[in-house]
Amino acid sequence: MLAMNYRGPKRVRIDQKPIPEILHPEDAIVRVVRSCICGSDLHLYNGNVPDTRVGSTFGHEFVGIVEEIGSDVHKLKVGDKVIVPFNISCGRCAFCKQELYGNCHESNSQATAVGAIFGYSHTAGGYNGGQAEYVRVPYADVGPTIIPEGMDWDDAVLLTDVVPTGYQAAEMAGIQKGDTVVIFGAGPIGIMAARCSWLFGAGRVIIIDKEDYRLEFARNYSQCEAYNFMDMEDPVVFVKKTTDWMGADVCIDAVGAEAAGNVLQTITGRKLLLQAGSATALHWAINSVKKGGIVSIVGVYGPTDNLVPIGNVVNKGITIRANQASVKRLLPRLIDHVQNGIIKPKQLITHRVPLEEVADAYRMFSEKLDNCIKPVLIPPSAHE
Ligand SMILES: NC(=O)c1ccc[n+]([C@@H]2O[C@H](COP(=O)([O-])OP(=O)(O)OC[C@H]3O[C@@H](n4cnc5c(N)ncnc54)[C@H](O)[C@@H]3O)[C@@H](O)[C@H]2O)c1
Ligand SMILES: [Zn+2]
Ligand SMILES: [Zn+2]
């Protein structure tokens, strides 16, 4: 089959690989119809995630058709069209039982901090991902969810990560009616978090990034205010000033460890690797939220340390909430929202790229070329 193949930092290519096989009775093999490239893949692509092995296939956002099932799979049958959450979860451990499906204790034998994620290095379990024609899906009775009648593939594929993560960012922010929400990052996740903030009763939503085309997209799609931090002397002062010097009620970090905007963070985090990436957006979020406010983090940070202003967290009485999205927990209500037209995920898709051109797609998404918001990869075998 064709599959994306990681060759080292900023080097990916398309290759032939063996079609995966059932390795455990609870596995299924899924034929991929759509897969996406995510901001999270850029951390791998840039070589910033420990134990990202040459030869691995990325891709944690995919939908497809069940091709084969193991002898212990009972809820799926061959031919089912499925949304596959990006988290791999066993459904039985203490954390899965609390619906913390992103924090499964069983699926990742390589670490205790992070659960397993498709195509996300050996730190996240060492499973191959969906930027390929076929994927092996473990615990197939737990994650995969049948795509409802009438929902198209493009909407479905964004339910594997972008919609639940954006929604959970807003949910964790504990937004109260009328709150001012400031979101750092206008990638697909920040844009979705801005859209979902209104659903929780926000009174004002502000998004901050450095890419004008993304800010313009957010203004239209999320109906929010959007500002470029390159035009600001200090984003923290900007937020304070626009909130009568109180600070935002809640701030969302939808950037993570590859943030731009601060030379010290960039040099120590992204060039010298003295910390696990640059925590610039998190820094700004902590410093621009009001006293007693909430900072919600969905931007990804590595397992090692980051320079963050923890003293300000204590002195301002800030609550920090963070996690990988629990996709399975959120799917029922988000499928409803998509079917009722409250969230329109596929409008985020700006590029539809043949899987064979995966290397170009990575370059375009990574370098923010051609006004790219979200690229979707289509395998040659994606016929129905
Ligand atoms: N927690 C989860 O479950 C989960 C799921 C998906 C993605 N993520 C993470 O969310 C983050 C965003 O994902 P994405 O797909 O939108 O990525 P993306 O790379 O497309 O977007 C990130 C945006 O942040 C902007 N940015 C850079 N520095 C900034 C700063 N200092 N302040 C404000 N904006 C800044 C960039 O210009 C870019 O537009 C990534 O870290 C990704 O790994 C987390
Ligand atoms: Zn993703
Ligand atoms: Zn589990």
177 shares its domain with 286: yes
Ligand 1 atom, smallest distance to 298 CA: 1
169 shares its domain with 269: yes
Ligand 1 pocket check: which of 35, 36, 37, 38 to mutate, most ligand atoms within 8 Å of Cβ? Answer: 38
Q: How confident is the model at residue 302 (pLDDT cuts 50, 70, 90)?
A: confident
Q: How confident is the model at residue 169 (pLDDT cuts 50, 70, 90)?
A: very high
* Residue 110 confidence (pLDDT): 84
Query: 78-136 pLDDT, tens per residue?
Result: 999 999 999 999 999 999 999 999 999 999 988 888 899 999 999 999 999 999 999 99
Give the residue whose CA is nearest to atom 43 of ligand 1.
Answer: 40
* Residue 271 confidence (pLDDT): 84
* CATH number for position 346: 3.90.180.10
H, E, C per residue of 108-174: CCCCCCCCEECCCCHHHCCCCCCCECEEEECCCCCCCEECCCCCCHHHHHHCCCHHHHHHHHHHHCC
227 shares its domain with 330: no
153 shares its domain with 16: yes
Across the range 352-360, mean pLDDT stands at: 98
Q: How confident is the model at residue 270 (pLDDT cuts 50, 70, 90)?
A: confident
Pick from 322, 343, 369: which residue ends a domain? 322
| Six token digits for residue 237 | 């002062």
> Which DSSP letter does residue 95 get?
H
pTM of the model: 0.97
152 shares its domain with 172: no
3-state secondary structure of 189: helix
Give the span between the Cα atoms of 276 and 378, in whole angstroms.
Answer: 33
Ligand nearest to the CA of 131: 2
Give the residue whose CA is nearest to atom 3 of ligand 1.
Answer: 324
259 shares its domain with 372: no
* Cβ burial, residue 241 (10 Å; 0-12/13-18/19+): exposed
6 shares its domain with 64: yes
Residues 54, 6 contacting (CB under 8 angstroms): yes
Across the range 281-292, mean pLDDT stands at: 98
Print the domain residue range for 65. 2-161+326-383
**Minimum mean pLDDT among 143-157, 262-276, 342-356: which range?**
262-276
342 shares its domain with 257: no
Residue percentage of the chain with pLDDT more than 90:
92
> Torsions phi, psi of 264, nearest 5?
-60, -45
- Consecutive H or E run containing 226: strand 225-228
Across the range 341-352, mean pLDDT stands at: 98
> Torsions phi, psi of 124, nearest 5?
-105, 30
Across the range 322-351, mean pLDDT stands at: 98
Across the range 267-286, mean pLDDT stands at: 91
Give the span between the Cα atoms of 373 and 47, in whole angstroms.
Answer: 22
Query: Which residues form the pocket of ligand 1, taking CB atoms under 6 Å from any ligand atom?
Result: 38-40, 42-43, 161, 165, 184-190, 208-211, 214, 229, 254-256, 259-261, 280-281, 298-300, 324-325
* CATH number for position 264: 3.40.50.720
133 shares its domain with 188: no
Q: How far is the CA of 73 from the centre of ligand 1 (A)?
A: 35
Q: How far is the CA of 115 from the centre of ligand 3 (A)?
A: 8
Pick from 322, 349, 372: which residue ends a domain? 322
| pLDDT of 384 higher than 60 | no
Across the range 137-160, mean pLDDT stands at: 98
Ligand nearest to the CA of 42: 1
Ligand 1 pocket check: which of 61, 121, 255, 323 to mutate, most ligand atoms within 8 Å of Cβ? Answer: 255
Query: 176-205 pLDDT, tens per residue?
Result: 999 999 999 999 999 999 999 999 999 999
171 shares its domain with 301: yes
Query: 208-252 pLDDT, tens per residue?
Result: 999 999 999 999 999 999 999 999 999 999 999 999 999 999 999
* Residue 275 confidence (pLDDT): 87
Pick from 274, 295, 322: which residue ends a domain? 322
| pLDDT of 383 higher than 80 | no
Q: Which residue, among 82, 101, 77, has the nearest Cα to 91 in the 3D structure?
A: 101
173 shares its domain with 245: yes
- Give the number of domains in the chain: 2
96 shares its domain with 240: no
